[in-house]
Amino acid sequence: MLTNKKLKLAAIAAGILGIASFAHASGGGHKFLSANNDVANQASLQRGARNFVNYCMGCHSAQYVRYNRVGADLGLTEQQVIDNLMFTGVRPSDTMQIAMTRDDAKRWFGNPPPDLSLIARNKGPDYIFTFLKSFYVDPSRPTGVNNTVLVGAAMPHVLADLQGLQTASYEGHADAEGNMQKQFKGFEPLTKGSMTADEYDGFVRDTVNFLEYIAEPVQMKRRNLGIGVIFFLLVFFGFAYALKKEYWKDVK
């Protein structure tokens, strides 16, 4: 029989293997680029909100986010929100829903496009940043494009006019069992977009920044509160330590 110590070690090992398997299944072994976004950058968030409503909200909702909350957090007036962001909804207090129904979405795309309210918390900013840069031409797909991050994605390359089209190059090699495997090597530009590579990176980064913000709108307040709490605990520790020394100074 296994001892308690061995059982604990086996449980830890199983947990580590489970986490590793989940990470591999989620990321598919793809190396993600660093988004380097900053949710404290309000100008970037404003541009990201513009990008989201113009390029993403045709298919993707953000049903847990209200227009007026976005406006208040991003330093926009109610009229600015109505004029620039509210292409759906009637009142600023409405959530960011879309007109497309799930039945229509399933008929057109095969699967309804996911709501993006929590996508940044689920996948991470680096995943989204890399995904939006990784579309490539694939005539075998219904949309004419594929994606190296999410192979077989039903999403068309809605930012193709900005980025341009690119092809993906692969290198074949045999594994230990002699089976041929394809390894992604990189992208090669095919057509030019309206943006340079740096401009497109900035566009995607602003969009990812906004998605990270809506995934947790209170995160900046939470971080600032956390700093205050840590500062308070440090000061309190100083007073407590001084009081302890005063109480115990005569104890031999």
Name the token pair of 184: 């992604």
Provide the CATH number for the domain around residue 195: 1.10.760.10
Tokens of 241: 């330590």
Number of domains the chain is built from: 3
- Are residue 201 and residue 154 in the same domain, yes or no? yes
Residue 12, pLDDT above cutoff 80 = no
Q: Answer yes or no: do 76 and 45 share one domain.
A: yes
The angle at the Cα of 64, spanning 60 to 69, to the nearest 5 degrees, equals 110
Q: Same domain for 242 and 193? A: no
pLDDT of the residue at 248: 84
Query: Sorting pLDDT into bands at 50, 70 and 90, what band is 205?
Result: very high
CA distance linking residue 141 with residue 147, whole number of Å: 10
Residues 18 and 128 both lie in one domain: no
Asked whether the predicted pLDDT for residue 181 surpasses 80, the reply is: no
Residues 94 and 182 grouped into a single domain:
yes
How far apart, in whole angstroms, are the C-alpha atoms of residue 86 and residue 65?
12
Domain hosting 43: range is 32-217
**What is the SS3 assignment for 239?**
helix
Same domain, 198 and 131: yes
Q: Output the pLDDT for position 252.
A: 62
Same domain membership, residue 227 and residue 132: no
- Range of weakest confidence among 41-45, 157-161, 171-175: 171-175
Query: 86 and 176 share a domain?
Result: yes
Work out the pLDDT band at 61, boundaries 50, 70, 90: very high
Question: What integer pLDDT is reported at residue 25 of this predicted model?
Answer: 38
* Residue with the larger pLDDT of the pair 33 and 242: 33
Predicted pLDDT at 109: 77
- Rounded CA gap, 93 and 19, in Å? 40
Residues 41 and 8 in one domain: no
Token pair recorded at residue 114 = 């996911």
| Residue 6 C-beta-side C-alpha neighbours within 13 Å | 3
- The stretch 202-209 carries a mean pLDDT of 97
For the ranges 20-29, 35-44, 158-167, 233-242, which has the lowest average pLDDT?
20-29
User: Do 69 and 149 belong to one domain?
Assistant: yes
Same domain flag for 69 and 186: yes
* 180 and 70 part of one domain: yes
- pLDDT band at 26, cuts 50/70/90? very low
